[in-house]
Structure 1
Amino acid sequence: MADHAHSTPAPRQEGRGSRAGRPDPADLRQLADSPVSLRRIARLFAPHRATLGIVVALIVLSSAVGLAQPFLVRHVIDDALPRQDVRLLLLLVGAMLGVAVATAVIGVVQTWLSTAVGQRVMHRLRSDLFAHLQRQSLGFFTRTRGGEVQSRLVNDIGSMQGVVTQTATSIAANLTVVVGTAVAMVALSWRLALISLVVLPPAVLLTHQVARMRHQVTGERQRRLADLHVQIEEGLSVSGVLLTKTLGASPRLTAKFEETSADLVGLEIRSRLAGRWRMATMNVVFAAVPAAIYLAAGFPATSGGMTIGTLVAFIALQGNLFRPLMGLLNVGVDLTASMALFSRIFEFSDLPVEIAEPDSPTRLDRASARGDVRFEAVGFAYDADRPVLVDIDLHVPAGTTLALVGETGSGKSTLASLVPRLHDVTSGGVSIDGVDVRQLASADLSDLVGVVTQETYLMHASVRDNLRHARPDATYAEIEQACRDARIHDLISSLPDGYDTLVGSRGHRFSGGEQQRLAIARTLLRDPAVLVLDEATSALDNETERSILATFDDLARSRTTITIAHRLSTVRNADQIAVLGEGRVVELGTHEELLLLGGRYADLVRGGLGADPAPAMSAA
């Protein structure tokens, strides 16, 4: 599945096994894990049946037209040149040029049509997969490497273009050329054709075996080269060098690197020799088969009165037969590679949507929403045998503030994430204004609930565009007011480009606290009825935090706020404080009430709640 570990492969010098004559083991494993049917692939191309039919017809036509060249050469040698017939010579030479132009034009049209089909299918697959992945739960993305998702969307779907323009068309072209050439050879001389049928297959198979041997050596070489890359990356990075020096592991790593490098010496020599043997075998084949035909043409029993022109034409045809035959021998490899490609794509597109849209969503718009939040007998578990939340009952009346505190792993962030439905409860329910969040459309829920987390994500765009990501129709005045509320307007205005300043990749132009204030402004711009703050002020200095908290206090009068924080200043004024322990609410009350109780909350305050940093109160 998507969360399996994958090592980073070294660059491959061979194609996806197409030259090796043997399917890539990785492709075979992929198909064994996730089989895919040809019928399903065919359905993707069904809307383009007519265009694909034209492409196949053009391939056949191009191959048939190309076969005319040897026959034209025969007439030039046997008729036009011996008789000094200039008019016939001009006609034949013109026909040869016409054949070249026709095959070139047909090839351009065929490439245009096949590429257009591939791009349209690729576009549909890419867009559908992107939309499907957008519907996946947060849990999917925590289990799956980001590079794996990008690889399926970009690399695998991008490589699918080759299935249409290379794999499918090359199979059709090779098959047409082999059949057409064989028929033409028989038409020219059935005797020499019979000799070719005897000599050519063993020669092709010999070359095929040499290619397979080279593939095995090259595969081992690539694996060892990948090991070398890993050793360099791990041993010569800053962190790697620091670890090596502190552990005194430098001699051991050096010896291991030398061993791998020494292995590469032998493998490189074998790889070069295997490649040379392959080229030598092909050269021998290219020389031996025509030599056998020349020899046969010299004996009356096998020549059948053949003319020089017929012999030259036959040799030309035979020379065009070798590569298509090699290509057809690799049909199984190409099909396996293509099927594995589709299998990888379908593996993601078939993932069940854990948090699905309701069939008949209940309407609850922002204008009429009050923001009354209830947790009723809420239970949640990432794994069935390890519950994170157990039987949580909380009521957050509209316009009030709930603070969640507790030790690391107590379930604070998980509980808060259930309100915007980043996860679905395992049992019980979470409701807003009496409506279960599972009955709300995701668009309506995102309008109702705003989330600011400790980890701020800013896109590589202007400040204004980053803010408008929350509300594309926001006016300049609304954007500026949100930034004033987040205490970031003055800083933005002081920049040379103001709100048009490019924040840079992941917001690197701004400090952590400034990024957090931009994230707060982005959320405030949406004016949600429920505001979830997951350590939203953790990167702010004390003065800025006090200023932001004053803003939150003003805003809280018109909205419900659920806060997770590790600072006493953030939680002490909350209407309710829920203390979580081992996934349960162990205490509930105001700051003063819980201090008088002298229980878990009082222990947390004495143990460092409000200190900066406070490890006991880090996010769950």
Structure 2
Amino acid sequence: MAGGGRGGRLLSGPGDLNSPEIGQLGRRIWGLLTDYRGKLAGTSVLVVLGSSLGVAVPLLTQRAFDEALFPHDGGVRLPLLAQLVALMVLLSILVSALNVWRTYLTTSVGNNVMADVRSRLFSHLQKMELAFFTRTKTGVIQSRLANDVGGVASVLTNTVPSILANTVTVISSLVAMLLLSWQLTIVALILLPFLIFLQIRIGRVRQAIARRTQESLSDMTSITQEALSVSGIVLSKVFNQETGETARYRLENDKQLKLQIKQQMTGQWFFGSVQIVMSVTPAIVYLSAGWLLTQNWPITAGTLVAFTTLQARISMPILSLMRVALDVQTSKALFARIFEYLDLQPAIVDHSGARSLTPGTVRGALTLDNVSFSYSPGSAPVTWALDEVSLHIEAGQFVAFVGASGAGKTTLSYLIPRLYEATCGRILLDGNNIQDLTMESLRQNIGMVTQETYLFHSTIAENLRYARPSATDSELVRAAKIANIHERILSFEDGYESVVGERGYRLSGGEKQRLAIARVVLKNPPLLILDEATSALDTTGERLVQSALEAVMAGRTTIAIAHRLSTVVSADRIFVLDHGTLAEQGSHEQLLGAGGIYARLNAVGLDRADAGNTSG
């Protein structure tokens, strides 16, 4: 059985951007556009039409010179000139209108794809197992969602349309130039292969810099998330580390600054050289045209003006294509980072044929059959957090797990809802192997109240409805009364609409715990897991929370991870864990009489024996 502690596995890593997987980026990016190919087709038509019509203006200019301004028979043909000028103006207006329409379509597609990718990535990350998040900085994940995915819109709204528009412009202009004079066309483009070769070399350098820049940006986001959260601010202030945190951020910020400058400046000498070539080429064309005229080649003034107009029109698209080619190579790093996360495979998934538990039928009987678990099952030798644990809990029983810090208590509680996967053995709920059940239906029947309560920066009502969004106001009140928190909520100025602050910092520890209990009441699960919800509270807070817990525990199977004697004595059965093994089990009186590990823990006080434990 695969160990859940190892976490998700990368199918294709980001390290080698020239690997076969990265070579398939184009097809993968194209796959992101499946739902928008109609709009892309329309955009392509507009690009081709607009770029092609743009070529007509220089050709009309040739006619204006050769047939209206300087005809062979002499005399200016003003009516023809007026017609040609009017046509040029109309074409310019039409091309501008087509470009605005095209911009709207590309902007719409780019931003929609960005939103789709962000939602897809967020949804995929929601499926990842707990181990992934314990080893990955939150700020790094946030950077992928915000910075990396944000670049998708830029690529699709600017880079891709620019490639298409400039390619069509270059091709149509080249055709027109060849029709005007193939000799001058050769002169105008003779240095282009050398410039393309330089562009490819520079692009590889910028690609590597882009990846380092994105990684640095992730580190900056991570520092921001850690240092500017409520918890981070409190920690930095009480340890007088404001200066240290500022220095840490400034160091990474300076690194990001240097990388950004380096990325922007890489290739600037190249582009400067290209611009010089583009600027000098018309003069060379004039010189070449003069030489051709001495050789009796038929080149009219209109042809030369139209050719240089086309040459000027083609210069910017060629330069833009070279810039875009560098951007495409740079964007490989961005897309590689996005697909790296999308390629993560959750270590814990529903098995083929997994079935759902029928609502209302779960009794809550739980059996562990020779269960072992390691956070690093591939290591040698294997360190077992749980080692061949077997036990049975009857439906409706209240049981407690006790043991010293690191004995495996919290680890065991995480295996039941499959936050981690047992490395060996089976866990049965009402006789059903939990691995044969869908995780959604399994977790729907399990409620957890942990020592550290997490509340969103939102109202009390919204935090409570997280358990059941459809809950009515009267159901919220009922749950709050059971959790012994209703009167306290009403004492707030906005009652149930009071905002609790980030992570509930506007509330006391006991108030947060009672809100967590009320949230579980709304969920109404047949199986309740309590990871000592009172260990961090004072005596008054503990009494209020304990009273609320007793009301919630009635009629349902309850597992308590116990750090205090007060939690243990009333349990129907107590399981004593020692270094990952089940050492003893029985009632409080039986275990005291046995004079074993439990008796020794009881003698020194469970909370003192387990001091500082938050993940047993």
Provide the rounded CA distance (Å) in 2 between the counterparts of 1:418 and 1:3: 17
Provide the rounded CA distance (Å) in 2 between the counterparts of 1:143 and 1:297: 68
SS at match of 1:29: coil
Which of the numbers 521, 525, 538 marks the counterpart of 1:524?
Answer: 521
- 1:289 aligns with 281
Larger displacement relative to structure 2 (438-447 or 513-522):
438-447
- 1:541 aligns with 538
The 1:213–1:343 alpha-carbon spacing in structure 2 relative to 1, beyond 3 Å, is closer
Residue pair 2:122, 2:145 contacting (<8 A) in 1 also: yes
- 2:47 aligns with 59
Q: Taking every aligned residue pair, what percent have the same amino acid on both sides?
A: 39
The 1:381–1:274 alpha-carbon spacing in structure 2 relative to 1, beyond 3 Å, is closer
Which of the numbers 373, 381, 395 marks the counterpart of 1:380?
Answer: 373
* Letter matched to residue 124 of structure 2: H
Which of the numbers 108, 123, 126 marks the counterpart of 2:100?
Answer: 108
Q: Please give the residue correspondences for 1:348-427 in structure 2 after superposition, counting only pairs within 5 Å.
A: 348-384=341-377, 385-427=382-424
* Letter matched to residue 597 of structure 2: R
The 1:610–1:229 alpha-carbon spacing in structure 2 relative to 1, beyond 3 Å, is closer
What per-residue deviation string (whole Å, max 9, x for no partner) do you get for residues 144-185 of structure 1? Answer: 332333334443333333443333322222322222211111
The 1:407–1:302 alpha-carbon spacing in structure 2 relative to 1, beyond 3 Å, is farther
- 2:611 aligns with 615
Residue pair 1:34, 1:347 contacting (<8 A) in 2 also: no
- 1:23 aligns with none
- 2:439 aligns with 442
What is the Cα deviation at residue 362 of structure 1?
4.2
Residue pair 2:155, 2:331 contacting (<8 A) in 1 also: yes
Residue pair 1:389, 1:584 contacting (<8 A) in 2 also: yes
Residue pair 1:608, 1:616 contacting (<8 A) in 2 also: no
The 1:284–1:331 alpha-carbon spacing in structure 2 relative to 1, beyond 3 Å, is closer
* Letter matched to residue 194 of structure 1: I
What is the Cα deviation at residue 49 of structure 1?
4.2
- 1:157 aligns with 149
Residue pair 1:36, 1:342 contacting (<8 A) in 2 also: no
What is the Cα deviation at residue 58 of structure 1?
2.2
Residue pair 2:483, 2:514 contacting (<8 A) in 1 also: yes
- Within the alignment, does 1:431 sit opposite 2:437 as a pair? no
What is the Cα deviation at residue 412 of structure 1?
0.6
Q: CA RMSD in A?
A: 4.3
Provide the rounded CA distance (Å) in 2 between the counterparts of 1:469 and 1:219: 40
What is the Cα deviation at residue 90 of structure 1?
2.8
Provide the rounded CA distance (Å) in 2 between the counterparts of 1:280 and 1:431: 70
SS at match of 1:304: coil
What per-residue deviation string (whole Å, max 9, x for no partner) do you get for residues 186-238 of structure 1? Answer: 22223322221335555x46985997799699999989x99x999x9999x99
SS at match of 2:420: coil
What per-residue deviation string (whole Å, max 9, x for no partner) do you get for residues 65-97 of structure 1? Answer: 111121223333444445444433332222222
The 1:481–1:591 alpha-carbon spacing in structure 2 relative to 1, beyond 3 Å, is same
- Within the alignment, does 1:29 sit opposite 2:13 as a pair? no
The 1:122–1:31 alpha-carbon spacing in structure 2 relative to 1, beyond 3 Å, is farther
- 1:320 aligns with 313
What is the Cα deviation at residue 128 of structure 1?
3.7
- Within the alignment, does 1:462 sit opposite 2:459 as a pair? yes
The 1:119–1:68 alpha-carbon spacing in structure 2 relative to 1, beyond 3 Å, is same
Larger displacement relative to structure 2 (188-197 or 363-372):
363-372
Residue pair 1:468, 1:474 contacting (<8 A) in 2 also: yes
Larger displacement relative to structure 2 (542-551 or 577-586):
542-551
SS at match of 1:151: helix
Provide the rounded CA distance (Å) in 2 between the counterparts of 1:198 and 1:563: 80
What is the Cα deviation at residue 330 of structure 1?
5.9
Residue pair 2:576, 2:598 contacting (<8 A) in 1 also: yes
* Letter matched to residue 600 of structure 1: I
What per-residue deviation string (whole Å, max 9, x for no partner) do you get for residues 513-568 of structure 1? Answer: 32222111111111111110112223332122123223323333301111113222
- 1:179 aligns with 171
Residue pair 1:459, 1:504 contacting (<8 A) in 2 also: yes
Q: Please give the residue correspondences for 1:236-385 in structure 2 after superposition, counting only pairs within 5 Å.
A: 281-282=273-274, 284-299=276-291, 300-301=293-294, 304-329=297-322, 333-384=326-377, 385=382
Which of the numbers 462, 470, 481 marks the counterpart of 1:484?
Answer: 481
Provide the rounded CA distance (Å) in 1 between the counterparts of 2:40 and 2:33: 8
Q: Which runs of 5+ in 2 are unaligned?
A: 1-5, 228-232
The 1:49–1:288 alpha-carbon spacing in structure 2 relative to 1, beyond 3 Å, is same
The 1:246–1:320 alpha-carbon spacing in structure 2 relative to 1, beyond 3 Å, is closer
- 2:56 aligns with 68
What is the Cα deviation at residue 307 of structure 1?
3.2
What is the Cα deviation at residue 328 of structure 1?
4.2
Residue pair 2:448, 2:520 contacting (<8 A) in 1 also: yes
Larger displacement relative to structure 2 (433-442 or 117-126):
117-126
The 1:543–1:218 alpha-carbon spacing in structure 2 relative to 1, beyond 3 Å, is closer
Provide the rounded CA distance (Å) in 2 between the counterparts of 1:294 and 1:115: 41
Which of the numbers 454, 475, 499 marks the counterpart of 2:496?
Answer: 499
* Letter matched to residue 364 of structure 1: L
What per-residue deviation string (whole Å, max 9, x for no partner) do you get for residues 381-405 of structure 1? Answer: 2211222111111222122211111
- Within the alignment, does 1:96 sit opposite 2:103 as a pair? no
Q: Please give the residue correspondences for 1:133-144 in structure 2 after superposition, counting only pairs within 5 Å.
A: 133-144=125-136
Q: Please give the residue correspondences for 1:109-124 in structure 2 after superposition, counting only pairs within 5 Å.
A: 109-124=101-116
Provide the rounded CA distance (Å) in 2 between the counterparts of 1:590 and 1:550: 22
- Within the alignment, does 1:196 sit opposite 2:192 as a pair? no
Residue pair 2:8, 2:129 contacting (<8 A) in 1 also: no
Provide the rounded CA distance (Å) in 2 between the counterparts of 1:344 and 1:219: 11
Provide the rounded CA distance (Å) in 1 between the counterparts of 2:238 and 2:490: 43
Q: Which runs of 5+ in 1 are unaligned?
A: 5-25, 248-252
What per-residue deviation string (whole Å, max 9, x for no partner) do you get for residues 30-68 of structure 1? Answer: 453954624444444345444433332322221111111
Larger displacement relative to structure 2 (574-583 or 438-447):
438-447
What is the Cα deviation at residue 475 of structure 1?
1.9
- Within the alignment, does 1:451 sit opposite 2:444 as a pair? no
Residue pair 2:65, 2:302 contacting (<8 A) in 1 also: yes
Residue pair 2:7, 2:129 contacting (<8 A) in 1 also: no
The 1:278–1:447 alpha-carbon spacing in structure 2 relative to 1, beyond 3 Å, is closer
* Letter matched to residue 73 of structure 1: T
